Amino acid sequence: MNIVKSFYRLASTLYLSLVNKRFRSKLFLVFLLVTIVPISFFVIYSYLTIKEQLVHQAVENVGSTIDQINNNIENKLDLYYQISTLIYMDTDLRNYLLYRYKKNDLSYLDAYDYINKLLYKVMAMNPSLKAITIYTDNETLHSDGYFIKHMDELPETLTTQSMQAEGRITNFYPDQKSAKERVVTLARSLNYLSLNFPYGILTMEITEREFFSLIEKENKNKTILVADEQGNLITTNTKPSKILNIAEVIPQALSHTASSTLNSEMSGGKKAMVIQKPLMNGWRTVVLLPYDELLEQARNASRKMLYISLGCIIAAALLIYGTSQLMTKRFEALLHQIRKVERGNFDLSFRSMGHDEVGQLSFALNKMAMTIQDLINDVYKKEIAQKEAEMDSLQAQITPHFLYNTLASISALAVTNNNMQGHLMADDLAKFYRISLNKGKKRITIEQEIMLTRHYLSIQKTRFDGLFTVHYLLDESLLRFTTVKLILQPFIENCINHAIWDDESGITIIIRLMPDGDDLVFSVIDDGMGMPAHVLQRLAQKTDQPAGYGIYNVDKRIKLAYGERYGVDIYSRLGIGTAVSIRLPKTVTFT
């Protein structure tokens, strides 16, 4: 599951990275992939095809070579078999070997003379023979240490093997005492044909050079091994060689006695193809073809194709880059014009972009810009001017209304009491107007709106002493945002002028500021006399009638500034109280 999630995150990252790239880069990458992928498949397919053909051809060639080597070895062995047969069929030799010589009998000299001449003649005619020996169990015929020896001098394994062969030629086996002195011994039991009575064993020692001469010319990029049934090495074309058994080089070769083709790892760590075929007598010829040398031609051909492919890819990349530059240049020019429209500049300058899709798109953009500019001139600017005038008018209407009431209060208080309260009211009034006018700016911070409300309430407390109390529930993190000014004062004025129904108990006013998602909400709540349902319904219509003037004023200014989803809502019940909710967006823009 974690793997799937990791893959999904990686794919998403790559997708987003690709999507966010410039169109020119995406076009270049797509074209480059379309070029590289087929060429890569072509190079890989060519290499694999050449490799397969070379391996198949090498196997066939090596098979033919092994057949020729096996044929030559078998012809050579057949020659020695014929020699052994001539000796085996010599009746005089058999008689000399079977005769029981008495003490002081000099006839054994005739036996030595005959045997020596016969075997010397055989060796003279076959110089490849290193030695030829007859082992006899006739103790009366003394051993000469060369041509005639007794049976107890023969290795027991060879004696047993020859006797079990019952007159047939036995297998050959190498002398493994030293790799430098390696010889091959041919052994055959001598017996009466009619009685099947063995009277000796004939051995012929053949130098390894005789077999090496049959394979030494076949050493082009391959190793040839000739071994017996047990894997003992007879000869190899690799000189000098310290190998005594092919299992040292190819462990699995001994498990395959028939013709086979294997893949093996040689002792040096190199991989090689192993091809082997058996001879008639149980020997086997094994050929090792190193893959590095076998596939060198395939690598050379693939390397050439790769260089050519890289050249083609580089040329294609340059052509693709130039083409993508040419194709995206017009898109970039078109994007530049769109940016101008985005910034409100509809005076577009187009040069001819042709009659394809890009050209048609540029023509449509130019026409759209001209249409938008006409609409702005005919509708938008007029509407903005009208709303600005309306807002200025609404703003101007509130100032005299409050100013006259406040000045009247100050005047009456100053005449009646002759004290500093008049001065304090005048000071609060000055601060109130300093914030509300704000150098002609239409928006102030929430903190300034609260200060303006406090000054207003200070003035009203002087006038209506003891008739109301005020509580503030404010989220101070919202004080940095901005609002259109004078949105709380009309509702507090309504609370003081219309909600008080008992001059002795008065009312309580709560001013609350709380967040609501991306908005903020002012609430002005009182526990006064409330409003009847028909009055609340008329106020909810937010008309500019005198009874709902304050509500209409604030609601209209908020909607003009922020949109229709913002404004004023009123909730009231007769005898319980009134709650006013003012919804504003969280903004920090000053105008």
| Calpha distance 203→222 (Å, rounded) | 33
pLDDT digits (tens, 9 = 90+) for 291-318: 776 667 667 777 777 778 778 778 877 7
Tokens of 365: 């953009």
pLDDT for 214 = 81
Q: Which residues of the chain have pLDDT under 70?
A: 1-2, 4-5, 7-8, 10-28, 31-32, 166-181, 192-196, 219-220, 240-242, 251-270, 293-295, 297-298, 327, 346, 349-354, 358, 378-441, 541-549, 590-591
What contacts 102, CB < 8 A, 6 or more positions away? 140
For residue 511, the cross-strand partners are: 472, 524
pLDDT for 591 = 64
pLDDT for 82 = 87
SS3 category, 508 = strand
Tokens of 65: 């070579």
Tokens of 283: 């020997």
pLDDT for 175 = 52
- At residue 241, what are phi and psi to the nearest 5 degrees? -130, 130
Tokens of 204: 């012929």
pLDDT for 482 = 92
pLDDT for 305 = 75
Q: Peptide bond preceding 240: is omega within 30 degrees of 0, i.e. cis? A: yes
| Calpha distance 516→523 (Å, rounded) | 12
- At residue 42, what are phi and psi to the nearest 5 degrees? -65, -45
| Residue found under tokens 């769109």 | 338
| Calpha distance 218→61 (Å, rounded) | 11
pLDDT for 430 = 56
Count the Cβ atoms, other than its own, within 10 Å of residue 83: 19
| Calpha distance 559→568 (Å, rounded) | 9
Burial level of 164, CB count in 10 A (0-12/13-18/19+)? Answer: exposed
pLDDT digits (tens, 9 = 90+) for 261-299: 666 665 556 677 788 888 887 788 888 877 776 667 667
| Calpha distance 348→180 (Å, rounded) | 98
User: What sign has the CA pseudo-torsion 478, 483, 489, 494?
Assistant: negative
| Calpha distance 321→105 (Å, rounded) | 110
pLDDT for 513 = 94
pLDDT for 394 = 53
Count the Cβ atoms, other than its own, within 10 Å of residue 326: 9
Count the Cβ atoms, other than its own, within 10 Å of residue 538: 15
What kind and span of H or E run contains 80? helix 23-89
Give the total residue count for the chain: 591
Tokens of 363: 């023509």
pTM of the model: 0.46
Q: Are 187 and 161 in contact (CB under 8 A)?
A: yes
SS3 category, 460 = helix
Compute CA distances 38 → 35, 156, 299, whole Å: 6, 70, 20
